[in-house]
Amino acid sequence: MLFFAYIFLTAFRDYRDNYGVEIFSELGYGEKPGIFSKSETWVAFGVLVPLALLFCIRDNFFGLLAALSLMIFGAVSLGVSTLLFDRGAINGLTWMILIGIGSYLAYVPYGSILFDRIIAKANVIGTAVFAIYVADALGYTGSVAILLFKDLVVGEATRLEFFRSFTYILSIGSAGLILASAFLILRSDRTRNRPT
């Protein structure tokens, strides 16, 4: 389930990065030269601080749950911020910043925290390198698939229209998959610690 969520998170992140110029232009920011620097500076700080705080948690079980919770929060915030944008409550720049923060909060822990905490919680000797390589291979395959889907199946949709729809689908799907994974981890921990 975590790998499946990662496929779509990677595709979303790549789409946002690759078509940022077109998306910002459709949002009305085409003539603003520093728009990328402005948006990505906020995204960097919005992601760096919560992820740094995760390293303060010493217990691997609680660290894993905290990482999964942060990832679920990031995924849910994608849908909430897009809903706010669609209703006119926030402008396009704020929306791009919020979905940047949300997508990276859900995406970055895979390569930095998640698999290390899973291995540590399982109390086995190993590294997270293989899992990270598998996740990246699947993720970039998904990224190519999404680009092909956009151009071949829904080619009439603008980059912004497709991106908005993709944001809603990703928010619900990835939050659900990560939540189900967290539930299974909690259940397996209770089963393992049950007295015999």
How many angstroms separate the CA atoms of 77 and 98, rounded? 8
**Structure token pair of residue 29:** 């920011």
Structural domain contains residue 160: yes
pLDDT at residue 192, rounded to an integer: 59
pLDDT at residue 131, rounded to an integer: 85
CB count within 10 Å of CB 166 equals 21
Structural domain contains residue 23: yes
Structural domain contains residue 142: yes
Say whether pLDDT at 63 is over 80. Answer: yes
pTM: 0.89
pLDDT at residue 196, rounded to an integer: 42
How many angstroms separate the CA atoms of 181 and 188, rounded? 11
For 16, 53, 179, 181, the CA distances from 163, given in Å and listed in that order, are 8, 30, 23, 26
pLDDT in tens, 73-109: 999 999 999 999 999 999 999 999 999 999 999 999 9
Residue of 112, 124, 125 whose CA lies nearest to 55: 112
Residue of 77, 100, 91, 71 whose CA lies nearest to 168: 77
pLDDT at residue 103, rounded to an integer: 95
**Structure token pair of residue 47:** 């992601």
Structural domain contains residue 196: no
pLDDT in tens, 137-158: 999 999 999 999 999 999 899 9
Structural domain contains residue 136: yes
- Domain span including residue 181: 2-190
Query: Tell me, what CATH number does 76's domain have?
Result: 1.20.1250
The pLDDT mean for the chain works out to 90
How many angstroms separate the CA atoms of 101 and 43, rounded? 5
Structural domain contains residue 195: no
Contact between 8 and 156 under an 8 Å Cβ cutoff? The reply is no
Q: How far, rounded to the nearest angstrom, does the alpha carbon of residue 46 sit from its chain's CA centroid? A: 13
Quickly state the pLDDT bin for 190 (edges 50, 70, 90): low
Structural domain contains residue 35: yes
pLDDT at residue 112, rounded to an integer: 77
Number of structural domains (the chain) is: 1
Structural domain contains residue 184: yes
pLDDT at residue 83, rounded to an integer: 97
